[in-house]
């Protein structure tokens, strides 16, 4: 091994940001890749879109497009999920007068003003276990304290057009419920909930909206394609590029709001189940979106008791290696919401 190979790579100290502004005003879309360093599909999808814009194969006709191919350069240089910590948690600018606590806080301080300058966020990720791509959206319109929101229909429209067969709603609600559960029913305080807030939650808190697209398994060769297609779909939906010439001709007025032929299944997260002990074991290897029927065994606790499904639903984000006291899996049910229509 040469001397050079033994020297640790320097900590990357530049965030690369690509901006395109059409002369015609319009929506402002920001696309992030590599918020988690080992998730490379978003970077690939962005690089391909950049090349298309540079070559003229793709033309921005109105609005502003900003793309950040690697949102966490330290995590990417390590090819790990995190650099010093998860960039997609505690996503808020450092308070005035305070010093950023770590590398990710310095990155967040650069990303927050960028997000502030846009209306729409598309955050491109991939996941560990096998499975199909899916999109994640936030709460329904509400004026509550946890995550007040007024753009659920627009956000749902974006999710609807990204080309996945499933969309998942309701993350922060269930995250907060999980915190309360761990505290014996005591509601989580603001700083605990702030920890659960990532890029999309920040975007919503600033008056915008955002969708997380999980493009597939980390090494799925199709994931970069999913990411690339999603960037195009978002641009087309927002009227920022010319309509797809292969699409069915439609009335000009609703060209950008025509839902895909087959609407994705919408699942609503309803609970999070913690792993209490190292001896808690799943009854089988679960994959995200595996359906379970009411009463079906999911896992066995250390004391031998069987953990069964309380209702018909789906296993989401199972983690057989979860540390005791942390999320073992989430449980979702089919949602009654229809993304194609505004909620009454
Ligand atoms: Zn991720």
b/e map of 49-63 (b: 16 or more CB within 10 Å)? bbebbeeeebebeeb
Distance 275 CA to ligand 1 centre (A): 21
| Mean pLDDT value across residues 245-270 | 63
| Closest alpha carbon to 29 in 119, 138, 150 | 119
Task: State residue 189's pLDDT score.
Answer: 85
Q: Which of 285-289, 311-315, 320-324 has the highest mean pLDDT?
A: 311-315
The DSSP result for 251-316, as a single string, is -GGGGGG---SSPPEEEEEEEEEEE-STT-EESS---TT-EE-TT-EEEE-TTS-EEE-SSSEEEE
11 or 66: whose pLDDT is higher?
66
Of the given ranges (13-27, 144-158, 171-185, 304-318), which has the lowest mean pLDDT? 171-185
pLDDT band at 254 (very low <50, low <70, confident <90, very high): very low
Distance 302 CA to ligand 1 centre (A): 30
pLDDT at 242 over 60: yes
Q: For residues 167 and 264, is the Cβ–Cβ distance under 8 A?
A: yes
| Mean pLDDT value across residues 12-16 | 96
Q: Each residue of 180-225: pLDDT tens digit?
A: 888 888 888 888 888 889 999 999 999 999 999 999 999 999 999 9
Distance 245 CA to ligand 1 centre (A): 32
pLDDT at 253 over 60: no
Distance 126 CA to ligand 1 centre (A): 6
For residue 336 the two structure tokens come to 């009654």
Distance 229 CA to ligand 1 centre (A): 18
Domains assigned to the chain = 3-263 (3.40.630.10), 267-334 (2.40.50.100)
pLDDT band at 246 (very low <50, low <70, confident <90, very high): low
pLDDT band at 10 (very low <50, low <70, confident <90, very high): confident
pLDDT at 261 over 70: no
Residues 311 and 296: their CA atoms lie apart, in Å, by 9
Distance 211 CA to ligand 1 centre (A): 12
Q: Each residue of 78-135: pLDDT tens digit?
A: 999 999 999 999 999 999 999 999 999 999 999 999 999 999 999 999 988 778 899 9
Distance 39 CA to ligand 1 centre (A): 6
The secondary element (H helix, E strand) that includes residue 32 is strand 28-33
Task: State residue 195's pLDDT score.
Answer: 87
Distance 74 CA to ligand 1 centre (A): 15
For residue 97 the two structure tokens come to 């007068």
Q: Give the residue carrying structure tokens 């395109």.
A: 20
């Amino acid at each position: 091994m040469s001397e050079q190979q033994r020297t640790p790579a320097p900590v990357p100290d530049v965030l690369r940001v690509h901006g395109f502004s059409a002369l015609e005003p319009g929506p402002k879309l920001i696309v992030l890749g590599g918020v988690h360093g080992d998730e490379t599909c978003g970077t690939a999808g962005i690089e391909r879109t950049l090349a298309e814009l540079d070559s003229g194969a793709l033309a921005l006709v109105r609005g502003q497009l900003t793309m950040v191919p690697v949102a966490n350069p330290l995590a990417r240089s390590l090819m790990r999920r995190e650099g010093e910590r998860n960039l997609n948690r505690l996503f808020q600018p450092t308070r005035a007068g305070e010093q950023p606590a770590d590398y990710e806080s310095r990155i967040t301080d650069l990303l927050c003003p960028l997000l502030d300058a846009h209306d729409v966020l598309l955050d491109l990720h991939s996941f560990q276990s096998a499975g199909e791509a899916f999109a994640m959206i936030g709460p329904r319109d509400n004026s509550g304290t946890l995550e007040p929101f007024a753009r659920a229909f627009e956000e749902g429209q974006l999710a609807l057009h990204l080309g996945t067969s499933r969309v998942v709603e309701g993350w922060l609600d269930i995250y907060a419920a999980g915190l309360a559960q761990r505290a014996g029913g005591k509601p989580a305080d603001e700083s605990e909930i702030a920890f659960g807030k990532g890029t999309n939650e920040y975007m919503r808190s600033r008056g915008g909206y955002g969708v997380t697209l999980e493009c597939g398994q980390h090494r799925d060769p199709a994931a970069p394609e999913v990411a690339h297609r999603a960037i195009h779909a978002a641009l087309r939906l927002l009227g920022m590029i010319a309509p797809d010439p292969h699409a069915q001709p439609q009335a000009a007025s609703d060209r950008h709001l025509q839902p895909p032929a087959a609407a994705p299944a919408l699942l609503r997260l309803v609970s999070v189940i913690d792993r209490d002990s190292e001896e808690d074991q799943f009854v089988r290897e679960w994959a995200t979106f595996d359906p379970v029927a009411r009463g079906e065994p999911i896992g066995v606790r250390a004391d031998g008791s069987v953990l069964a499904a309380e209702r018909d639903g789906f296993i989401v984000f199972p983690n057989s290696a979860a540390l005791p006291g942390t999320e073992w899996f989430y449980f979702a049910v089919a949602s009654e919401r229809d993304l194609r229509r505004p909620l009454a």
